[in-house]
Amino acid sequence: MLSAFAQLQASAEAGKYTVAFATERIPIYSERSGKRDLAQLRAALATAQPGHRLLIIAPYADALRELCATDERFIWLAPVSFAEPPPDTRLIASDAALENFINDIGADDKFTIFVLPQWRQAGDYVLAVMRQLLERAAARLKTIGHFEKLWQINFRVNAPAAAAYADIAALGGDRPVALVMAGPSLDSAQLPSGTIWCADTALPVLLQRKIYPRVVFSVDAGFASREHFVGALTAIREKSIILAGDLLGYPAVQRLPFAERLTYASSHPLLQNHIVSGRSDLTPVENPAGDVGSLMRAVYRKLFGEAPVQIFGHDGAHRRRVTHARGTAYFLRQYAVQNRLTNTETYMLKLSRRYA
C-alpha cells in the first residue's frame, strides 16, 4: 500500500476485498463485481475533460488489470492493492512511483479526479490525502520557479572547486548514532554521544548545547542557508566539521572552513551534465523530496542500508517561533519590518545573537 494512506488497511477473504478505515469496514470488490467496477473506470475515461488526464483513485485488484491493457491516457493511484500490480507506469502502487509522479507533474498539467464510488465512507479522507499530494507538487513547481536561476548561478560559482569535493562514500566508515533535524522536538531531545549528522537548520541548536556534529548537510540554494552558520566558524574549524551537499548550494556556505566538502551524484540536470563530463566517480543519491532531512536519510540508507539509527527533530510540523527551520523568514519579518533593519550586516548581527 502507499504510506500516504496509512489509515487504510486492506484485507481479502473468501473472494471479498475490503478496506478498514477507522471503525468502518468498506467492501470494495468481490469476484462477481469486477466487471461492474471495470465498467465504472472505463466510463470515467470516456467522460474525462479534453486536455485533462484522468486521475483514478481506486484500489488495485486483478479484476481491473484489463484497464492497463489499453492505451488510454490516465494515472491510476492505488492507495491499497489486493494483488501484485502489473509493471505499468500509469499505475502508482508504491511509494517510489508516487514520488516520481509528484515530481513529474508539470505547471501545465490538468487532471480530472475520479474516486471509485465504493470509497464513499472514506471519501473525505482519501480526497484530503490527494489534495496534500497535489499541494506537494505545487510547492515543488513553486520552488523550481523560485530557484531555477539561482541554481544556475550557484553552479557556475561552485563548479571550479568541484575537483576538491570528495565523494559522499567517504562517510561509510563511521556510522552515525543519530540524525538531527530542526523540528520543535529538538528543543527537548536528549542526544546520544557518538557521531552525529545534522541538518544545517539544526546546527545552531547543537552548538548552543556544546554538541558538535561530525557532518552538516546543507542543500538550500538561497541566502537563508548562510544564517544557520552565523557564529559557527570557530566550531567548524576547531571541531573539523564536514560539509555534505551538492554544487547547487549557496556559495558562501560552501566556502566556510570545513575540514572536508563531500558531494554525490544528484539527479538534478545541471549536476547530471557535470557528472557525465567530469565526476563519474560520485555515488548516486536520490532525494525526490528535495529537503535537507530527506537527503540525510537517503545518504544514510545508501551507505548503511537498513541499519537502525536514531532520528531527532523530524516532526513534519512546526510551532511558530520554535521550529528552527522556519527561523529565517520569521526573524526577517519581525525585525526587518518592526526595527527597520535595512542591511545584511545588521540582520546577520541579530541572527548571531539568536542562540546566545
> Domain segments of the chain: what residues?
3-128, 165-352
The residue behind cell 566538502 is 261
Written as one letter, the residue type at 233 is L
Identify whether the C-beta of residue 77 lies closer than 8 Å to the C-beta of residue 56: yes
- Residue 277 confidence (pLDDT): 62
29 membership: H or E segment, kind and range: strand 24-30
Q: What is the pLDDT of residues 200-211, one digit of tens each?
A: 989 988 998 999
Neighbouring C-beta atoms of residue 224, cutoff 10 Å? 17
Q: What is the pLDDT of residues 98-137, one digit of tens each?
A: 888 877 777 778 888 888 777 767 777 888 888 888 776 7
> Is the Cα dihedral 183, 288, 236, 253 positive or negative?
negative
262 membership: H or E segment, kind and range: strand 260-263
Its pTM stands at 0.58
Written as one letter, the residue type at 225 is S
Identify whether the C-beta of residue 262 lies closer than 8 Å to the C-beta of residue 242: yes
Q: Is the pLDDT of residue 67 over 90?
A: no
- Residue 320 confidence (pLDDT): 47
- Residue 123 confidence (pLDDT): 73
Section 236-254 average pLDDT: 93
Q: What percent of the chain has pLDDT over 90?
A: 23
Q: Which of 11-20, 88-97, 161-170 has the lowest mean pLDDT?
A: 11-20
Q: Is the pLDDT of residue 301 over 90?
A: yes
Identify whether the C-beta of residue 257 lies closer than 8 Å to the C-beta of residue 236: yes
Q: Which of 46-55, 144-153, 209-218, 280-289 has the lowest mean pLDDT?
A: 144-153
> With bands split at pLDDT 50, 70 and 90, how would you rate the model's confidence at 333?
very low
The residues that bridge with 166 in the sheet, in sequence order, are 262
- Residue 197 confidence (pLDDT): 97
Q: What percent of the chain has pLDDT over 70?
A: 81
- Residue 194 confidence (pLDDT): 94
Q: Is the pLDDT of residue 273 over 80?
A: no
Q: What is the pLDDT of residues 175-193, one digit of tens each?
A: 999 999 988 788 788 899 9
Section 253-275 average pLDDT: 84
Q: Which of 29-43, 199-213, 215-229, 232-246 has the lowest mean pLDDT?
A: 29-43
112 membership: H or E segment, kind and range: strand 111-115
Separation CA 56–CA 54 (nearest Å):
6
Identify whether the C-beta of residue 282 lies closer than 8 Å to the C-beta of residue 263: yes
- Grid coordinates of 103: 515530481
Separation CA 74–CA 31 (nearest Å):
24
Separation CA 60–CA 70 (nearest Å):
16
- Residue 210 confidence (pLDDT): 94
- Residue 354 confidence (pLDDT): 42
- Residue 352 confidence (pLDDT): 46
Q: How does the average pLDDT of the chain come out, rounded?
A: 79
Count CA atoms closer than 13 A to 187's CA, side-chain side: 10
> With bands split at pLDDT 50, 70 and 90, how would you rate the model's confidence at 5?
confident
27 φ, ψ (degrees, to nearest 5): -70, 125
Q: Is the pLDDT of residue 146 over 50?
A: yes
Q: Which of 70-79, 115-124, 167-176 has the lowest mean pLDDT?
A: 115-124
Instruction: Give the contacts of 333 (CB within 8 A, at least 6 positions apart).
Output: none
Please give the full DSSP string across 96-125, using - where no structure is assigned. HHHHHHHHH--TT--EEEEE-GGGGGGHHH
The residues that bridge with 261 in the sheet, in sequence order, are 243
